[in-house]
């Protein structure tokens, strides 16, 4: 080969050599990318789930059966860290098909309730049951299948908008996905993007606004169509008009469905069957909206303050 002239054999040899060298590298690269993506997805998943990894199914645990969807918490004591108890023996009940609203100041433990129901965390004592079955005694997969959460902070996958909505019910048809998006008032926005439903969102794609993310999360949950629904400040990032437009879809979704609504804005919970005021992990008042107003306690105070604030805003807007 030192003569500068190469035979066909040499070329074949060299290209075979290069093939042998690069094929594995190519595969290695592919494997690397796949693993990395897998890790990123897992990372996102666990951020999304916001839970420690050690929660495991009890050996031989059966699937949860949900004939009606009644939820019950009994004397629930819970702490994220041993030295600081968050829920101090909480008991509550959501009869099948009913709506329970939980209100209270920031840090009261409202979102913690939703994390416990979804079993991101196990409680220290007491029990959480769905249709009489302790959620620790059934498989996590079957539990999470029947609960749909619109979380306070939505984390999206680094994937297409379609994937992010379809995640609510893998295998859903395009028509079903687009219908859910339309009900969540995000369909037209998606169509306005150059890549439409294939637009990649998240860290490495299009950054969605808080309200857009929230609507994707609502679409995902509407598509999932679960028997038990948790709305954790589900419309807090939306402007009043968009909120009103979505409210109709949410109002329709909660009919005949066991629902837990967590909200700061009391105007969104007035129709709930029952309202609980949570304060530092304890129930300090409970009843229907009118009852709580009549009691003239903490809830009535919160209601008056919010009414005044709303009036103030309306006044400012008019001037
Ligand atoms: N992963 C966690 N580890 C430790 N402490 C936590 C964790 N998540 C929440 N907490 C604490 O638990 C308490 C209740 O939190 P939670 O998120 O339930 O409040 P919240 O009522 O939903 O408040 P907000 O209205 O601000 O959403 C807070 O004091 C918070 O600091
Ligand atoms: Mg919260």
The closest-lying atom of ligand 1 relative to the alpha carbon of residue 112 is: 18
DSSP state of 51: -
Structure tokens at 319: 């001037």
* Distance of CA 283 from the midpoint of ligand 1 (Å): 16
* Residue 300, CA atoms < 13 Å, CB-side half-sphere: 8
Percentage of residues in the chain with pLDDT exceeding 90?
63
Minimal-distance CA residue to ligand 1 atom 2: 80
Locus of tokens 């968050």: 86
User: Ligand 1 pocket check: which of 82, 106, 107, 265 to mutate, most ligand atoms within 8 Å of Cβ?
Assistant: 107
23-58 pLDDT per residue, tens: 777 777 778 777 767 666 666 666 666 555 578 899
265 lines ligand 1 (CB under 6 A): no
pLDDT at 50: 57
- 179 versus 13: the higher-pLDDT residue is 179
Structure tokens at 25: 């590298």
152 lines ligand 1 (CB under 6 A): yes
CA–CA distance, 232 with 11 (Å, rounded to integer): 66
User: Ligand 1 pocket check: which of 46, 53, 109 to mutate, most ligand atoms within 8 Å of Cβ?
Assistant: 109
Exposed, middle or buried, 234 (CB in 10 Å: 0-12/13-18/19+)?
buried
Helix (H) or strand (E) holding 179: helix 174-183
Strands (DSSP E) found in 20-152: 71-81, 84-94, 99-103, 125-130, 133-134, 147-150
Locus of tokens 């290695």: 28
Q: How many CB atoms lie within 10 A of CB 47?
A: 11
Q: Which long-range contacts (CB under 8 A, 24 or more apart) does 201-204 make?
A: 201/156, 201/158, 201/159, 201/160, 201/161, 201/164, 202/156, 202/157, 202/158, 202/159, 203/158, 204/158
pLDDT at 199 over 90: yes
CA–CA distance, 119 with 127 (Å, rounded to integer): 12
CA–CA distance, 129 with 146 (Å, rounded to integer): 13
C-alpha 134: how far from chain center:
22
Q: What average pLDDT does this structure show over 153-180?
A: 94
CA–CA distance, 180 with 213 (Å, rounded to integer): 14
75-100 pLDDT per residue, tens: 999 999 999 999 999 999 999 999 99
pLDDT at 136: 96
The chain-wide mean pLDDT, for the chain, equals 89
86 lines ligand 1 (CB under 6 A): yes
Ligand nearest to the CA of 84: 1
Task: Report helix, strand or coil for 76.
Answer: strand
CA–CA distance, 156 with 40 (Å, rounded to integer): 12
Q: Which of 271, 263, 272 is nearest to 302 (CA)?
A: 263
Q: Which residues pair with 92 in a beta bridge?
A: 73
Structure tokens at 126: 């007491």
Ligand nearest to the CA of 108: 1
CA–CA distance, 87 with 24 (Å, rounded to integer): 55
110 lines ligand 1 (CB under 6 A): yes
Task: Report helix, strand or coil for 143.
Answer: helix
pLDDT at 2: 47
pLDDT at 5: 65
109 lines ligand 1 (CB under 6 A): yes
The closest-lying atom of ligand 1 relative to the alpha carbon of residue 152 is: 27
Residues 6+ apart with CB under 8 A from 295: 285, 287
281 lines ligand 1 (CB under 6 A): no
User: Ligand 1 pocket check: which of 53, 55, 80, 106 to mutate, most ligand atoms within 8 Å of Cβ?
Assistant: 80
In which band, very low, low, confident or very high, does the pLDDT at 310 lie, cut at 50, 70 and 90? confident
């Amino acid at each position: 080969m030192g003569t500068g002239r190469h035979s066909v054999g040499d070329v074949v040899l060299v290209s075979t050599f290069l093939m042998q060298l690069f094929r594995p590298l190519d595969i290695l690269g592919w494997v690397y990318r796949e693993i990395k993506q897998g890790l990123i997805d897992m990372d996102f998943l666990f951020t999304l789930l916001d839970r420690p990894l050690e929660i495991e199914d009890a050996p031989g645990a059966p699937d949860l059966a949900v004939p009606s969807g009644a939820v019950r918490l009994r004397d629930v004591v819970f702490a994220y860290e041993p030295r600081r108890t968050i829920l101090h023996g909480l008991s509550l009940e959501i009869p099948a098909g009913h709506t329970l609203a939980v209100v209270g100041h920031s840090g009261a433990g409202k979102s913690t309730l939703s994390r416990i129901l979804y079993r991101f965390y196990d409680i220290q004592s007491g029990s959480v049951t769905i249709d009489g079955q302790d959620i620790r005694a059934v498989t996590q997969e079957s539990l999470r299948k029947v609960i749909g959460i619109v979380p306070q902070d939505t984390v999206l996958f680094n994937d297409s908008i379609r994937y992010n909505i379809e995640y609510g019910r893998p295998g859903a048809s395009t028509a079903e996905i687009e219908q859910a998006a339309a009900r969540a008032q995000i369909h037209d926005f998606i169509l306005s993007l150059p890549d439409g439903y294939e637009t990649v969102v998240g860290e490495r794609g299009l950054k969605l606004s808080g309200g857009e993310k929230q609507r994707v999360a609502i679409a995902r949950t509407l598509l999932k169509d679960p028997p038990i629904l948790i709305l954790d400040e589900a419309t807090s990032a939306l402007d009043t008009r968009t909120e009103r437009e979505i409210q109709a879809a949410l109002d329709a979704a909660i009919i005949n469905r066991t629902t837990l609504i967590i909200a700061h804005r009391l105007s969104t919970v007035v129709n709930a069957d029952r309202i609980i005021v949570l304060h530092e992990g304890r129930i300090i008042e409970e009843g229907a909206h009118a009852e709580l107003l009549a009691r003239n306690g903490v809830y009535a105070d919160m209601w008056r303050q919010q009414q005044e604030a709303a009036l103030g805003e309306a006044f400012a807007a008019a001037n």
